[in-house]
Structure 1
Amino acid sequence: MTWSSALKDTARAGLTIERTHLEPLVALRGACGVAIVIGLILWLGTPQLAVSSAFGAFASGLATFQRSWRPRPVLALGVAVALGFSTFVGYVAIADPVVFAVLLAVWTLLAGMAWAIGPVSGMVASQMVAVMLFTVTLPTSVPGALHHAALIVFGGLTQAALIVVFPIRPWGRQRDALADALAAEADYARRLRHDPVARFDPQPLMDARSAAALTPRQARRRPGQLAGPRGLAERLRPVLASLADPVLGAPPEGPERDRARELLGAAASVLDAVAHAVRWGRPVKVTPEVMATLDVPDESRLVLTGAARRSGLRLMVLLADVVEAADERVESTRPTTPEERRHLLRPSVPRLVPVGLRALRREARWSSAIGRHAVRVTAVVSAGYALGTALPLGHGYWAPMTSVMVMRPDFAQTYSRGVARFAGTVVGVWLAGGLMVLIHPGMYVCAGLAVLCIGLMYLLMRTGYSVASACIAAYVVFLLGIAGEGWSQTVWARLALTLLGGLLALTAYALFPAWETLRLRDRLADWLAANARYSLAVLAVYARPGERKPRRVRESLLDSRAARLEWEEAVARAEKEPVRHRGMSRRAERAAESALATMGRATMLMEAHLPDRDAEASPGAGAFAAALRADLPDAVTAVRERSRPDWSAVHRAHDAWRAKAGEEGVAVRASELLLDALEELSEALSPGRRR
């Protein structure tokens, strides 16, 4: 993609306004928190204190809208405490410009590295820098700095208290995540009726698993309806695929295929009904016709045979379990089982400190995109602060504040957010400034208008960053109106400095990039390695059924999903970069992705028919796994170094296995699909592959 096309696409993405589900009651609650803080401080204190405390309530409320599974009050309090500490340190250092510049650089570097912990941490850390830049411009002493910091914490405490006192759809995010996973499986079952090898996006299942991780306090309060269906949905997916597969399941045509389509349609209806019940906390309602389809028939009416018969019976049992698990009393609670507690326990906030430190240490290297982003954003913010201070516009903090809120570790988000930020700021500042000059509002009217703007921002923030930027810009204008700032200076200074901050951010990414395109082969190699570990874990069960370890299979499956997600996100970012491919064309990307997806699907089909502990061991599966394990390191290296992976030893082991076991074994036939996928991958990555 050329630079002109990339810039056009990112600008269009930044200015796009999407239709999305709005949450007016949640937005109203957040706006009320800001209104309470501003009103109390105006009544008991000064306008300057009201402006400072308003940012604490605003940022704390904004954090509760982020995609995080932690309790909303904890998020609000955590953000408020972090902002209060950041503001106090900034106030102490602002007396010496050199010391403050050094502090700003260190703070920004840490904020950039915070993206290694997660997107919510990165966003909160960026807010800490932005709020510190603004609030320290309000004159005060060290005791006053403590006062300002305490007021910011008070804003977060107010938001947290409102969430506790006025809960709106408790456990709603967890319900939505689980319902989305069930609905995705329903759609998958429906597509399998017409396309037996349809692909499945595991992202909803990954989100449901993340939502199921609980703190000990949450585990005691979780509704029973959220406890069971997720694990059953995970077990349903391979059963659905194995029933529909034309090689390992029902034949492509005939009565067995008709019965398979009937079962898949009934499964889709049941899963949709369970998803609706979970989403809204209601009992499951399934029609009698669907339940009759899922009744276990006698031998004369079963129709299915062989592996398809086993899959059909297993599907009926699992669907009955899903309905039973979701049909519990919705107001009841159930603590997690020991297994769930061991695997899905979310660490408390203090225990996150060593986890965060390990993530920072892992990304603190020059080759890391996060590390390069931290250096880039530090240089831009420092330069923006110096230029903004030197220019005779006043409010020099606006340029570095724009930069730190715009910049992200990847090109596409940085450019789209930069365009959206400037466009939104222009609209917001002009509208708010025009209103200020037309009606000359007083202090309390400005406060009311600021609360209105922040309520609109909370309501519309998911429709597009440009809309949120417009609301934030107007909010800041009215806040400064509370403190007595002139509207004309607010308009012109902020427009010029916003443009400066955005241009610095965009220029920095052009001069000091971290292109995802150049790392695509590394991502692909990681996905191949994760897929192979999943295959080896499943083959180990066939080789030694008595030593089966379900946890090992489960963990390797999760690693494979995570690697696939990283690859898909990397490809999505690379497609928007103005960089020509380096050793891997777009066509090769698609072919390699298809091969590895097929490899994962073949392994999943083997997992659907795992032998019991008392089954006979398969030496052929063990030899096949040993050959795959031996060839894997060289194959991963070949993918990274742009050469063709060699699977000769794996071919020989598979031929010996098939000659001994015949072609009727489920594992043999599934492993043949796996081997075909590996050859497809080698063909896609061949150096001399024709375009």
Structure 2
Amino acid sequence: MSWLRALKETARSGLALERRRLEPLVAARGALGLALVVGATLALFGPSVAASSAFGAFQAAIATFQRSYRPRPTLALASGASLALSTFLGYLTGAHLVLFLLLLALWTFLAGLAWAVGPTVGIIASSNVAIMLVTVTLPTSVATAAGHAAMIAVGGLVQAVLIVLLPVRRWGAQRDALADALAAEADYARRLRHDPTAPFDPVPLMTARSAAAVTPRQARRRPGELHGARGLAERIRPVLASLADPAVGAPAEGPQRARVRELLGAAGQVLDACAHAIRHGEPVDLPPPAVAALRTPDTGAVLAGAPRRAAARLAALLGDVVETAEPRTETAAEARARPTLLRLVPVALGRMRAELRHDSPVLRHAVRVTAVATSGYLLGTALPLGHGYWAPMASVMVMRPDFTQTYARSVARFGGTLVGVALATGIVQAAHPGTYLSATLAVVCAFGMYLFMRTGYAVSQAFVAAYVVFLLGMVGEGLTQTVRERVLLTLLGGVLAMASYAVYPAWETPRLRGRLADWLTANGRYAARVVAHYAEPAGGPASPDVREALLDTRTARIAWQEGVARATHEPVRHRGLSHTAAGDAEHAMAQFGRVAMLLEAHLPERGAPPVPAAAALAEALRRATERGAKALRERQVPGWGELRETVEAWDRGEGAPDHFLLHKGAVLLLEALDELSAALER
């Protein structure tokens, strides 16, 4: 993709606006907290302290909007405390340019590395650096700076208290995640009626798994219906696939296929009803036709063999989902543990330390953002425009570890800032609003920013720019700075951010082969563990080692898909894996995983007769996929010699297992790997 087209596509994504992602009640709560903080501190301490506390409350509310399943009050408190510390340290060194630049470089570098922990931590850390650049200009002494830092922390505390007192959809994020997972299963069941080999995107299940982990405090308060249904949804997916697939299930046409379609449709309706109940915290209202279809007594007469077993298992699992979705109580011992913030500190430091390698995109981002912030601050200070922190503030706020987000946000931020600064500065210079009117306008702008924070980045940035202008106007800072000067400094920050990626990039495109190799390795281990359980039955579909391998395949698949999405708009050559080849390879890998999932759906229970031949197939699968992954990384087309020899020997009757599903599955697995090789050859 050319640079011009890449810029066009990324700019379009930064300007997109989706109404369904607006959350007016949450935005109003954040604005209310800001208004309380600003009003109280204005009356008690004056405009300067009010501005500091306002930044603390503003940043704390931003933190609660991030995609995180931790308690929102905890995020607000952590954000306010970290910003207070950043501001105080910044003021201590602010009078000495060299010391402040060293602190800015250290703080920015750590904020860049914080993306290794996750986007929530990365965004909060980046925002702390950006706001610190403004707040360090407000105090006049060390004691005053300490007071300002304390008031910033108080701003975070007020937002945390409001979240507790005025909850908006308590457990709403967790409910939505679990409901989305069940709704995805329902949609999958309906698609299988018409396409027996339809693909399934595991992202909703992975998201629900992340949402299911809770802290000890959350575990004592979590509604019971949010526990258990996710695990059942995980077990339903392979059963649905095995029931629909004609290779191992009912024939493609005839009475059995008609019965399978009826069962799949009923399963979709039941799962939809459970998703609705969980999303809204209501009792499950099952559609009578779906219940009747699942309870029809002639299933055993119509279906036989593997389809019959799958139908019986599906009915039992759906019954468990319905029972789980009903509102009930739960003990803390039943919950998946999520570490507290204090226990997360060594984990976060370990992840950041692991990124200190030359090929890490997170390390490259940390180096880029550090260089841009320090150079932007120096340039902004040297230029005769006044208040040069606008340049590094713009850079830090838009820069992300990948090209697409950085360029999209740079274009959107400049456009939004241009509008916001122009309107706000024009109002200040024309109307000369007093302290309280400026504070009111700042709160209104904050509400607009919160409202459009999840979508319409350019619109939200217009409100952010206006918020800063009005807040500084409340203090009397920056009144002499014109629209032109602020826009020029913002443009400078955006240009530095965009240029840094061109000079020191971390392209995703060259890493796609490595991500595909990781997915192949994970898929091979999953398939090998599933097949090995036919040789030594040990626990059926709920076997822990199979479950662990399945989660690894999903993680690798999501990493691949995210990598492809980031690489799509990069202005670089594909270097051995074109967009067409990537799409074909993804289809082949999905087919491989689907076949392994079909085999998992019919794993023998503990104590069932073993199938000794399965051990040889499991070992062949593991070796073949590991060698194939090595060939992928070396830019070669992988071969599957050992696995092919095993399957061909079975076809000749040499050591073939007396198990139709296992023999057929081996053939399908080899066909999927051959499709992968063909995609790479093209």
TM-score range, shorter chain: over 0.9
Q: Distance in 2 between matches of 1:16 and 1:25?
A: 22
Aligned to 1:203: 203
Aligned to 1:244: 244
Per the TM alignment, residue 296 of structure 1 is displaced from its structure 2 partner at its CA by 5.3
Q: Distance in 2 between matches of 1:13 and 1:571?
A: 16
> What does 1:454-473 align with in structure 2 at a 5 Å threshold?
454-473=446-465
CA contact (8 A) 1:185 1:237 kept: yes
Aligned to 1:450: 442
Aligned to 1:271: 271
Letter in 2 for 1:107: W
Per the TM alignment, residue 167 of structure 1 is displaced from its structure 2 partner at its CA by 1.2
What is the percent sequence identity of the aligned residues? 61
Q: Which moved more, 1:287-296 or 1:497-506?
A: 287-296
CA contact (8 A) 1:221 1:335 kept: no
Cα distance per residue 1:55-79 (max 9 Å; x no partner): 0000000100110000000000011
CA contact (8 A) 1:620 1:653 kept: no
Per the TM alignment, residue 487 of structure 1 is displaced from its structure 2 partner at its CA by 4.5
2:559 counterpart of 1:563: no
CA contact (8 A) 1:540 1:621 kept: yes
> What does 1:116-195 align with in structure 2 at a 5 Å threshold?
116-195=116-195
Q: Distance in 1 between matches of 2:133 and 2:428?
A: 24
CA contact (8 A) 1:516 1:573 kept: yes
Cα distance per residue 1:406-451 (max 9 Å; x no partner): 1111111100100000000011111212222343211101111111
Q: Distance in 2 between matches of 1:97 and 1:438?
A: 35
CA contact (8 A) 2:369 2:497 kept: yes
2:510 counterpart of 1:518: yes
Per the TM alignment, residue 617 of structure 1 is displaced from its structure 2 partner at its CA by 1.4
Q: Distance in 1 between matches of 2:62 and 2:100?
A: 27
CA contact (8 A) 1:603 1:670 kept: yes
Q: Choose which of 416, 431, 454 in structure 1 pairs with 2:408.
A: 416
Decide whether aligned partners of structure 1 residues 657 and 358 sit closer, same or farther in structure 2, where only a CA change above 3 A counts: farther
Per the TM alignment, residue 21 of structure 1 is displaced from its structure 2 partner at its CA by 3.2
Q: Which moved more, 1:563-572 or 1:227-236?
A: 227-236
CA contact (8 A) 1:221 1:333 kept: no
Q: Choose which of 349, 359, 365 in structure 1 pairs with 2:341.
A: 349
Letter in 1 for 2:588: A
Q: Which moved more, 1:543-552 or 1:11-20?
A: 543-552
Cα distance per residue 1:69-126 (max 9 Å; x no partner): 0000000001111111111110111121101111111111111110011001110110
Q: Choose which of 665, 672, 675 in structure 2 pairs with 1:677.
A: 672
Letter in 1 for 2:347: V
Per the TM alignment, residue 460 of structure 1 is displaced from its structure 2 partner at its CA by 1.7
Per the TM alignment, residue 492 of structure 1 is displaced from its structure 2 partner at its CA by 2.5
Cα distance per residue 1:352-403 (max 9 Å; x no partner): 1111111111111110101111111111111101100001111111101110
Per the TM alignment, residue 20 of structure 1 is displaced from its structure 2 partner at its CA by 2.2
2:377 counterpart of 1:385: yes
Letter in 2 for 1:560: T
CA contact (8 A) 2:390 2:486 kept: yes
Letter in 1 for 2:575: R
Aligned to 1:401: 393
> What does 1:474-485 align with in structure 2 at a 5 Å threshold?
474-485=466-477
SS where residue 20 of structure 2 aligns? coil
Letter in 2 for 1:566: A
Q: Choose which of 573, 581, 584 in structure 1 pairs with 2:577.
A: 584
Decide whether aligned partners of structure 1 residues 121 and 15 sit closer, same or farther in structure 2, where only a CA change above 3 A counts: same
Q: Distance in 2 between matches of 1:287 and 1:12?
A: 43
Per the TM alignment, residue 134 of structure 1 is displaced from its structure 2 partner at its CA by 0.7
CA contact (8 A) 1:111 1:125 kept: yes
Aligned to 1:307: 306
SS where residue 17 of structure 2 aligns? coil
Q: Which moved more, 1:440-449 or 1:649-658?
A: 649-658
SS where residue 513 of structure 1 aligns? coil
Q: Choose which of 595, 598, 602 in structure 2 pairs with 1:605.
A: 598
Aligned to 1:69: 69
SS where residue 337 of structure 2 aligns? coil
Q: Which moved more, 1:477-486 or 1:660-669?
A: 660-669
Q: Choose which of 659, 662, 681 in structure 2 pairs with 1:667.
A: 662
SS where residue 167 of structure 2 aligns? coil
CA contact (8 A) 2:524 2:626 kept: no
Any gaps of 5 or more consecutive residues in structure 2?
none
Aligned to 1:31: 31
Per the TM alignment, residue 490 of structure 1 is displaced from its structure 2 partner at its CA by 4.7
Q: Distance in 2 between matches of 1:490 and 1:69?
A: 42
Aligned to 2:330: 334
Per the TM alignment, residue 547 of structure 1 is displaced from its structure 2 partner at its CA by 7.3
Aligned to 1:98: 98
Q: Choose which of 608, 618, 625 in structure 2 pairs with 1:625.
A: 618
Decide whether aligned partners of structure 1 residues 315 and 620 sit closer, same or farther in structure 2, where only a CA change above 3 A counts: same
Q: Distance in 1 between matches of 2:165 and 2:76?
A: 14
Q: Distance in 1 between matches of 2:606 and 2:648?
A: 26
Aligned to 2:54: 54
Q: Distance in 2 between matches of 1:586 and 1:553?
A: 32
Q: Which moved more, 1:646-655 or 1:31-40?
A: 646-655
Q: Choose which of 596, 603, 623 in structure 1 pairs with 2:589.
A: 596
CA contact (8 A) 2:259 2:302 kept: yes
Q: How many residues align?
A: 679
TM-score, with structure 1 as normaliser: 0.96
SS where residue 302 of structure 2 aligns? coil
Cα distance per residue 1:187-223 (max 9 Å; x no partner): 1111000000001111001111100001112111111
Cα distance per residue 1:630-671 (max 9 Å; x no partner): 333322110001112121111112233452446852122122
Any gaps of 5 or more consecutive residues in structure 1?
none
CA contact (8 A) 2:77 2:156 kept: yes
Letter in 2 for 1:77: L
Per the TM alignment, residue 488 of structure 1 is displaced from its structure 2 partner at its CA by 5.6
CA contact (8 A) 2:453 2:460 kept: yes
Per the TM alignment, residue 546 of structure 1 is displaced from its structure 2 partner at its CA by 4.0
Q: Distance in 1 between matches of 2:230 and 2:539?
A: 26
Aligned to 2:423: 431
Q: Which moved more, 1:288-297 or 1:149-158?
A: 288-297
SS where residue 7 of structure 1 aligns? helix
Per the TM alignment, residue 553 of structure 1 is displaced from its structure 2 partner at its CA by 0.7
Letter in 2 for 1:321: D
Q: Which moved more, 1:464-473 or 1:19-28?
A: 19-28
Decide whether aligned partners of structure 1 residues 296 and 215 sit closer, same or farther in structure 2, where only a CA change above 3 A counts: farther
Q: Distance in 1 between matches of 2:441 and 2:191?
A: 50
Q: Which moved more, 1:276-285 or 1:630-639?
A: 630-639
Q: Distance in 1 between matches of 2:110 and 2:530?
A: 42
